[in-house]
Amino acid sequence: MTLLVERDYGTPGSPSPGLVTLEIDGQTVLVPEGTSVMRAAAMAGLDVPKLCATDSMDAFGSCRMCLVEIDGKPGTPASCTTPVAAGMQVSTETDRLRKLRQGVIELYMSDHPADCATRPGAADCELHGMAAKLELADVRYGEGHNHLDSVVDTSNPYFAFDPTTCIVCSRCVRACDDIQGTFALTVTGRGFESKVTPGTNQLFFDSDCVSCGACVQACPTTALQEKTVIEMGMPDRTVLTTCAYCGVGCSFKAELKGDQVVRMVPYKDGGANEGHSCVKGRFAWGYASHPDRVTKPMVREKTTDPWREVTWEEAIAHAADGFRRIQETYGVDSIGGITSSRCTDEEVFVVQKMVRAAFRTNNVDTCARVCHSPTGYGLSTTLGTSAGTQDFKSVDKADVILVIGANPTEAHPVFGSRMKKRLREGAQLIVVDPRRIDLVRSPHVEAAYHLPLQPGTNVAVINAMAHVVVTELLVDRQFVDERCEDFDNWAAFISGPENSPEVIAPAAGIDPEDLRAAARLYAAGPNSAIYYGLGVTEHSQGSTMVMGMANLAMATGNFGREGVGVNPLRGQNNVQGSCDMGSFPHEFSGYRHVSDDTVRHVFEEMWGRTLESEPGLRIPNMFSSAIDGSFRGIFVQGEDLAQSDPNLQHVKAALGSMDLVVVQDLFLNETSKFAHVFLPGTSFLEKDGTFVNAERRINRVRPVMSPVCGKHEWEVACDLSRAMGYEMSYANASQIMDEIAAVTPTFAGVSFEMLDRAGSVQWPCNDTAPAGTPVMHVDEFVRGKGRFMETPFVPTPERATRRFPLILTTGRILTQYNVGAQTRRTDNVVWHPEDVLEIHASDAELRGISTGDWVLLESRVGATSLRAAVSERMTPGVVYTTFHHPVTGANVVTTEFSDWATSCPEYKVTAVQVAPTSLSELDERALTGIDDLSAVTGS
Amino acid sequence: MSELTQDIIRMGNQIVDQFPHLPEEKKVEAVATHIHKFWERRMLGALYEHIDGGADDLDPVVIAAAAKIRSDD
């Protein structure tokens, strides 16, 4: 595709169902009521000149370029701020208008660098385009007072701000305010002194700017420009694809010059992001060409040997021989595989097929085990399917937003911006989180209630909210009677005094009156929506909590329409998809149990193999079986187990016990230290397939270049399967999706052709819902009746003790991503070069700790060191860190405790002690904890 | 004691803990259903072996659930 330039209609569309007929330049135009004259003209193919208007933001009316004449009206109103009216007759091109516009553009050009038109990004400059369109031949004004000696701000690693080309149209300021919601930019000064200013006369880097890129995208000149464009020049072609960071799944235009990516620009027609982006997706893609990329297969006999580059054939044969030997000696179930939520649906599907059909075992699991497996269990049990209920757009209709254990502005920033916009419009916010996350109070957003609960008491809190709803007679009886079952038993349970806010308050650390008020607010709605993250799932009662939230939403009738629902904010780009594809050891694609004969026979017929009817091992049980000696070989697709999984001593002991560890990844990582075969993987820029985001949206991932390692990951899985004696081959990724559709009812209507035509689609997509399903459970729940589940609160056994008196909880920050394999290899490290431990001032003072001090963080299973940051965001008794850097190894201290139903690790609750330390002292202790495997294996 | 046996003791007892509201018979049923649905055969083997060896660290409900799974199989 040549460079895709999206049409800019100047102002946003109107949602009004009513239509208005008017005439523009002699053309009859039919548009929704409330549409601007500018947009109506654009819809008729008539582009009114503009500079300050763009259709991603409300009209501003400052540049005076879009003036029009309207019969019967005096003057020349701005078409961007003038709404259409029935019978209106508009002229957009007259001599009078042309002269006015020429006068305006001439003034702009009189204070604009002469060489701007020859700069690398000049094609981005709408000002020059407009001057050419208006046939401005000359600027009559001589050199006078101007802004041409302004200093360029290059402080941001990804874009530069050149005030000399700025026309102070405020598009950047409004983008930062209205789209991103950060309010980092202002126009300071008046008249000639007006200028765009980050923060309080700061550099971009020093301001509150979060580098989302919205200002760069909005800028109509080259004042705000990507540094890659400045360095490489303008791109000349576009490939539409999907971001590979978080579960929002933003659509991007990968813009290239030849085979080189110049920039990633958010796609306006992207269903998930609608033209917005964050610092990771927009700018942090350089890792794909980082010199650390491993591009050739490698093998070694022992993990102490150096790696040896080999051909693909040798590497595959080495892996297959090893797996076969293990199975011959220790049985068919002595090996397994792990799929990755970073990979496409097609890659994941093929790997789980390889494990089930070629390895002939159900020992396949996925990294979703350690994040959202409780979502699958909880929502499936109560509602009938393992997925969130809404599309992202739904939040625009929410009146009350309940955010539990999620930090959208950091971890799902594009959706976080959308949520903040709705909050600025007046929706009420309840935040349930031990930390005072940014949403609790940020520019023009303030939570009505922040319930700073103690980690591990989620279920007590959600039960108490439901208790208030039931005992204060706030239940939506009609919804419950018509749509749900098992209500009476549940209502009797939840009404029990043990679930009252007053009883749970001491354990939860929440003011019971605040909790009651929050519950009443949620029940009042009328549209109340729950959004949650890993602060819900990564607990010993993660699945119970998911069911508890579903109970609360059912009791208040908050399902089956826009603005409501229970919505997981998935961590990785394809967590939903990897789960959909049958990555769990107990179920095939579409969440159907392996013991279901009818379902299994569908796969047996398709794959030509008898399949195992009993569930396989989950990841933690694979590790334990490895240490015991019954599980001896593993294929790891794109997951750094030895950094991301809990209780790393145990993980490393397990990996170190295996005879064969095969890692497929972009980079050598912590897990590959235990590997015998390394198979190079492909970055998202090389992948061809689909991702499924948190709203069940299936989006195409299109390659912008060939795999640098020479093979697609699904081809490698096919090669390994064949070498293991099972014939598996596809001509392309599209064929894999066709097979997925053939065996998975919720994907039955999906194909690459369909996605290329529709853009994206939300499953279920089949004969019943050929255009997909943005909102689920509309008339009835997937399981028929929504099922109330009794959810007694059972405190985690992981508790603060005299020796470990603090509770550690973990999370992510905006600029880094999970284990940091990608973002650490980009300029994002300038914002977050290391993990730090956030600690409340009182806990810090008690221990003599100041911000910047090195501290020892120790739990009953391990210790690590990092710097402290004293923070009022923390609740006393709770400390927090991220796990983006392997040198910190935060998961050295997390424990073996996990969700009772799914074994999802309890990352969010670890009893720890924090003490000041010196680096040298800590290094010694930490190394003992991390690397001495004999302490774990007993060997 | 093997790592997997330690796993199944912790997991089994934790599952039982989730059903304090159920009468004994339903509790056994719920635990048996869960284990049967999600546990791999060597985990079941470890469970049976541990029970056969005494298993004073297992909740009686887990033992009853294991007996139910065994008899159903």
- pLDDT, tens digit, 9 for 90 and up, residues A686-728: 999 999 999 999 999 999 999 999 999 999 999 999 999 999 9
Chain A residues with CB-CB distance to B7 below 8 A: 620-621, 624
How many CA atoms lie within 13 Å of A517's alpha carbon, on the beta-carbon side?
14
Q: Do B40 and A333 touch (CB under 8 A)?
A: yes
Integer Cα distance of A281 and A78 in angstroms? 35
**What was the pLDDT predicted at A937?**
26
Integer Cα distance of A454 and A800 in angstroms? 11
Integer Cα distance of A426 and A917 in angstroms? 47
Among A251, A261, A923, A338, which residue's Cα sits nearest to residue A633?
A338
Amino acid sitting at position A858: E
Among A683, A672, A735, A751, which residue's Cα sits nearest to residue A712?
A683
**What was the pLDDT predicted at B8?**
96
Note whether B71 and B28 are within 8 A (CB): no
**What was the pLDDT predicted at A920?**
57
Contacts of A856 (CB under 8 A, 6+ apart): A863, A864, A865, A913, A914, A915, A916, A917, A921, A922, A925, A926
Closest to B40 (Cβ–Cβ): which among A593, A616, A627? A616
**What was the pLDDT predicted at A121?**
83
- Rounded to whole angstroms, what are the CA distances from A693 to A247, A390, A411, A736? 5, 12, 14, 19
Chain B residues with CB-CB distance to A614 below 8 A: 40-41
A330: part of which helix (H) or strand (E)? Answer: helix A312-330
At A197 the three-state DSSP class reads strand
Q: Do B41 and A493 touch (CB under 8 A)?
A: no
Note whether A531 and A403 are within 8 A (CB): yes
Residue of B nearest to A937 (CA): B3
Q: Is A621 on the interface with B (CB under 8 A)?
A: yes
What is the separation, in whole angstroms, between the first and last Cα of chain B? 26
Q: What per-residue string of b and e applies to A103-115 under the rule 16 or more CB within 10 Å gives b? A: ebbbebbebbbee
Note whether A844 and A870 are within 8 A (CB): yes
Q: Is A586 on the interface with B (CB under 8 A)?
A: yes
Q: How far is A548 from chain B (nearest CA, A)?
A: 13
Q: Do B40 and A630 touch (CB under 8 A)?
A: no
Beta-bridged to residue A266, according to DSSP, are A252
Note whether A891 and A647 are within 8 A (CB): yes
Tokens of A127: 């000002």
A874: part of which helix (H) or strand (E)? Answer: none
Tokens of A473: 């007679």
Contacts of A875 (CB under 8 A, 6+ apart): A434, A435, A452, A454, A509, A840
Note whether A461 and A803 are within 8 A (CB): no
**What was the pLDDT predicted at A896?**
86
Note whether A889 and A820 are within 8 A (CB): no
Note whether A671 and A375 are within 8 A (CB): no
Residue labelled with tokens 């306006």 = A268
> ipTM of this predicted complex?
0.97
Tokens of A801: 């003790």
Q: Do B17 and A790 touch (CB under 8 A)?
A: no
Residue of B nearest to A620 (CA): B7
**What was the pLDDT predicted at B32?**
97
Tokens of A377: 């269990």
Intervals of chain A under pLDDT 50: 925-939
- Rounded to whole angstroms, what are the CA distances from A673 to A304, A307, A354, A360, A641? 9, 10, 24, 27, 11
- Rounded to whole angstroms, what are the CA distances from A4 to A1, A144, A391, A772, B59? 7, 39, 26, 26, 64
**What was the pLDDT predicted at A892?**
84
Tokens of A747: 């994907």
How many beta-carbon pairs below 8 A join chains A and B? 65
Contacts of A388 (CB under 8 A, 6+ apart): A375, A379, A565, A566, A567, A568, A694, A695, A696
pLDDT band at B67 (very low <50, low <70, confident <90, very high): very high
Tokens of A492: 């009797």
**What was the pLDDT predicted at A464?**
98
A418: part of which helix (H) or strand (E)? Answer: helix A413-424
State the DSSP code for A178. Answer: I
Among A186, A192, A223, A222, which residue's Cα sits nearest to residue A207?
A186
Q: What is the dihedral of CA A465, A470, A476, A479, to 10 degrees?
A: 100
DSSP output for A812-856: --SS--TT-TTGGGSGGGGT-SS-EEEE-HHHHHHHT--TT-EEE
Integer Cα distance of A459 and A789 in angstroms? 12
Name residues 774-803 of chain A within 8 A of B (Cβ): 790, 792, 794
Identify from A381, A595, A900, A902 which residue to disrupt to test chain B contact, counting B C-beta atoms within 10 A and taking the largest count. A900
Q: Is A362 on the interface with B (CB under 8 A)?
A: yes
Contacts of A325 (CB under 8 A, 6+ apart): A659
Q: Do B18 and A614 touch (CB under 8 A)?
A: no
Residue of B nearest to A615 (CA): B40
Neighbour count for residue B72 (Cβ, 10 Å): 8
Note whether A635 and A664 are within 8 A (CB): yes
Identify from A543, A593, A628, A647 which residue to disrupt to test chain B contact, counting B C-beta atoms within 10 A and taking the largest count. A628
What is the separation, in whole angstroms, between the first and last Cα of chain A? 60
- Rounded to whole angstroms, what are the CA distances from A475 to A65, A658, A684? 55, 54, 46
Tell how many helices (H) and how many strands (E) occur in chain B.
Answer: 4, 0
Q: Do A900 and B15 touch (CB under 8 A)?
A: yes
- Rounded to whole angstroms, what are the CA distances from A445 to A171, A176, A415? 22, 15, 15
Tokens of A92: 């957009």
Q: Do A901 and B34 touch (CB under 8 A)?
A: yes
Among A361, A405, A290, A375, which residue's Cα sits nearest to residue A685?
A290
**What was the pLDDT predicted at A889?**
76
CA angle A716, A719, A725 (to 5 degrees): 145
Q: How far is B6 from chain A (nearest CA, A)?
A: 9
Integer Cα distance of A229 and A235 in angstroms? 8
Integer Cα distance of A100 and A108 in angstroms? 13
User: What sign has the CA pseudo-torsion A709, A711, A712, A714?
Assistant: negative
Integer Cα distance of A555 and A780 in angstroms? 15
Tokens of A205: 């880097």
**What was the pLDDT predicted at A164?**
94
Among A179, A261, A253, A199, which residue's Cα sits nearest to residue A826?
A261
Q: Read off the pTM.
A: 0.95
| 3-class SS shares of chain B: helix, strand, coil, % to 5 | 75, 0, 25
Q: Is A649 on the interface with B (CB under 8 A)?
A: no
**What was the pLDDT predicted at A883?**
85
Note whether A546 and A374 are within 8 A (CB): yes
Chain B residues with CB-CB distance to A900 below 8 A: 11, 14-15, 17-18
Look at phi and psi of residue A42 and say left if phi exceeds 0, alpha if psi is from -120 to 50, else beta: alpha
Note whether A62 and A169 are within 8 A (CB): yes
Chain B residues with CB-CB distance to A790 below 8 A: 21
Q: How far is B50 from chain A (nearest CA, A)?
A: 15
Q: Do A615 and B34 touch (CB under 8 A)?
A: no
